[in-house]
Every structure is written in structure tokens, then in C-alpha cells.
Structure 1
Amino acid sequence: MELFIDSADIEELRRCVAGGLVDGVTTNPSLVAKTGRPFHETVVAICELVGGPVSAEVTATDAAPMLEQARELAALHEHVVVKLPLTRDGLQTCRALADDGIKTNVTLCFSAVQGLLAAKAGATYVSPFIGRLDDIGQAGMDLIRDLRQVYDNYGFETKVLAASIRHTEHLLQAALAGADAATIPAGVFDKLLNHPLTDSGLERFLADWKKAGL
């Protein structure tokens, strides 16, 4: 499974990628705005830091300006993956970009039929939002399973990128359901490394070592 960090904070990302466990980054205009840095400058800095796929999102809603923005983003760095909304105009733009070999991440996916259309449009990634579905009483993880089956049924190469992940159990269930990738906040990434039995076990080993006079 590819593991992405959902952030635009350079220092936060630097800490996460230091161990070599992070494959890429997803951003959005809101995350970049919080940094106070220029959008394009931030995207390039993240690409150079991570060295893997970096999703950068368009802000236009109509196909023509969306395509223009998308090409501008793709030209910033070879690692940019253009993030598009799962709308009619977004999928039209996705098809045009895919025909030119530009990687895309179609976001805000909330149903398997939407995901089917994204795959037909040539999306590199599709981002189903697990947490937001859970928030309205729907089982977000069912969408991951449905997308996995649909894509496998027809041999689509589009990767399922689990998004809106709120906790470590979400990530585990997405992995079990066959998601190709997941994007998580830095706080959730930190929790992946932690377990009280690991901590207590290490403390015991060190105490035994000390008692043995080694």
C-alpha cells in the first residue's frame, strides 16, 4: 500500500518522510492556505522534499479553465499529480489529461458508480472519502470494497486512494479491503508507530539489560 501524508506543512512533512516510510503527499487549497506561503512555491517545495506523487488541486469548476490550471500545475514538477473534483467537468478534464499522459487524482468520490466513471476517464487515483461517509451514517469502508471489486472486474488500472481517514483503524480496514493507497494526517501517521505493549516491552528489555550489568 502506498502511504501518503495529507498536509502542506513543510516541517510536518519533513518529520514524516524522514524514516523513508512515506510515498507521497496530498494537498488541497485549504491546507496550502494555512501555511501562508504561495501555492505554486509550496507545491514545488513538497515535491522536492518527498520525491514521490504530490496531489495538487485545481480551483476552477468549469472544464476549460480547469484544464488550463491543471496543465499549469503539471508543469511545476514531475511529481505533481493533478487533483480534480468528481464532476462532469472534472472528468472531462481528467480524460484530456490522461490522453496526454498527465497523472490525476479524482477526489470527492462517494459512490462506486462515481468511481467507475473516474476510472473510465483514465484517473490515476480515485479518492473515496471514508470518514465523511461515516459522518452521515453510511459505511465508508463499503465503498473501498465496492471500488476494489469493480476495478478488478474490468481490469481498470486506476488506484483506490482511501481518503478522509480519521484514525488507525480506518487505515487497517482500508488495507484489508484492498485499497492501493491511503492518505492520512500526520497525527494518524504518528499513531501507527505507537503501541503500549511495544513501549512496556522496550522498558523491560532495557531494565533487564541494566540488571545484568551489560
Structure 2
Amino acid sequence: MKFFIDTANLNEIREAHELGVLDGVTTNPSLMAKEGIKGKNNVFAHYKAICDITDGDVSAEVIATDFEGIIREGEELVTIDEKIVVKVPLIKDGIKAIKYFSKNGIRTNCTLCFSPGQALLAAKAGANYISPFIGRLDDVSTDGLELISQIVQIYDNYGFETEVLAASVRHPMHIIQCAEIGADVATCPLSVITSLLNHPLTDIGLQKFLADHKKLNG
């Protein structure tokens, strides 16, 4: 499974990269706003800074919701760096744009997926990634992990190459369960990734080893 970090914070991206497990970055307008990045030039410069840190794909989201606008923004975004993947909302004009991008060698991440039917359309249009939002489904008493399972099954049935990118990941068990189901990627905050390190028996065992070493060596 690939680990993407879902943030626009450069320090967090650097920390994940230094940990040695970072495969890519996902962003969205809300995350850029959280970092106080305003204006097209500043946004593009920030995307470039992210690309300079990570070796993997960086999802950059369009703001437009009409076909022509999505195409225009997407074609501009990919000029930033070869690592840029255009993040497109799962709407009618978004699917049309994904088909256009696919034919023209521009990679895409189809976002805001909440049903297997939507995921099927995105794959048929040629999306490189599909982003089901499992946490947001859980928030409305729907099983987000079941959606991941359904999409993985459908894609396996027909040999679609679209990668299943589990998004809106809220806690470490989401990551483990997505890995068990067969999601290709999990994108989440740094805190969720680092929480995979934690186990009380690891802490207890290390404390014992260090205590025993101190007894023997003074």
C-alpha cells in the first residue's frame, strides 16, 4: 500500500518524507487555505515547493466545475511539475474532463467519490486514481470501508488500472482495514500515519531492554 499525506503543510510533508514512508501528497482548496496560501501565483509556487520535497505524485485540485474551466485549470497545473496529478471532482463535466485528460496524457485523481457507480464511471473515463471518502461516509452512518471493498472488487473484475485511493482516513484502523481490503493508496494526516508506530508493548519492551542494559553496564 502507498502512503500519501493529506496536507499542504510543508513541514509535515518533510517529516513524512524523512520518515521514509511517503509515496505522495494530496491537497485540496481547504488545505491550501488552512496554510494561508492565496492568489494563483502563490498557490502554484506552493505546489512546486511540495513537489520539490516528495518523490511521488502530488494531487492539485481544480476549482472550476465546468468542462472548459476544468480543462484550462488542469492544463495550467501540470506545467508546475511532472509530479502533478490533476484532482477533478466527480461530476458530469469532471468525468468528461477526465476522458479528455486521459487522451492527452494528463494524469488525474477523481475526488469526492461516494458510490461504486461513480467509481465505475471514473475508471471507464480513464482516471488514474479514484478517491472514495470513507470517513465522510462513516459520519452519515454509512460503511465507508464497504465502499472500498466494492470498488476493489469491481476494478479487479474488469482489470481497470485506476488505483483506489482511500481518502478521508480518520484513524490507524482505517489504514489497516483498507490495506486488508486491497486499497492501493491511503491518504491521511501525518498524525494518523505516525500513530501506526504506537503500541504499549513496544514501549514496555524498550523500557525493559534499556533498564537491563543499565543494570549490566552501570
TM tier, shorter chain? over 0.9
* TM value normalised by structure 2: 0.96
* Residue identity in the other structure for 1:92: K
Where 1:78 maps in the other structure, the secondary structure is coil
Where 2:59 maps in the other structure, the secondary structure is strand
Per the alignment, residue 90 of structure 1 pairs with: 94
Counterparts of 1:113 and 1:36, CA distance in 2 = 36
Instruction: State whether structure 2 residue 136 is matched by structure 1 residue 132.
Output: yes
Per the alignment, residue 7 of structure 1 pairs with: 7
Alignment counterpart, residue 159 of structure 1, candidates 163, 166, 188:
163
Counterparts of 2:88 and 2:168, CA distance in 1 = 16
Instruction: State whether structure 2 residue 187 is matched by structure 1 residue 183.
Output: yes
Map 1:191-210 → 2, pairs under 5 A? 191-210=195-214
Counterparts of 1:86 and 1:126, CA distance in 2 = 9
Percent sequence identity is 54
Instruction: Report runs of 4+ in structure 1 exceeding 3 Å deviation.
Output: none
Counterparts of 1:144 and 1:92, CA distance in 2 = 23
* Residue identity in the other structure for 1:17: H
Pairwise CA distance, 1:211: 0.9
Map 1:1-214 → 2, pairs under 5 A? 1-37=1-37, 38-213=42-217
| Counterpart contact for 1:167–1:188, Cα < 8 Å | yes
Deviations along 1:8-39, one digit per CA (max 9) or x if unpaired, are 00011111110211100000011111212321
Where 2:169 maps in the other structure, the secondary structure is coil
| Counterpart contact for 1:33–1:39, Cα < 8 Å | no
Counterparts of 1:35 and 1:212, CA distance in 2 = 50
Counterparts of 2:215 and 2:178, CA distance in 1 = 43
Pairwise CA distance, 1:43: 0.6
Backbone CA RMSD of aligned residues: 0.9
Counterparts of 1:110 and 1:172, CA distance in 2 = 20
Counterparts of 1:33 and 1:40, CA distance in 2 = 13
Deviations along 1:60-100, one digit per CA (max 9) or x if unpaired, are 01000110000100111000010000000111110111111
Pairwise CA distance, 1:210: 1.0
Deviations along 1:116-175, one digit per CA (max 9) or x if unpaired, are 000000000000000111111111000000000100000000000000000001111101
Counterparts of 2:64 and 2:133, CA distance in 1 = 21
* TM value normalised by structure 1: 0.98
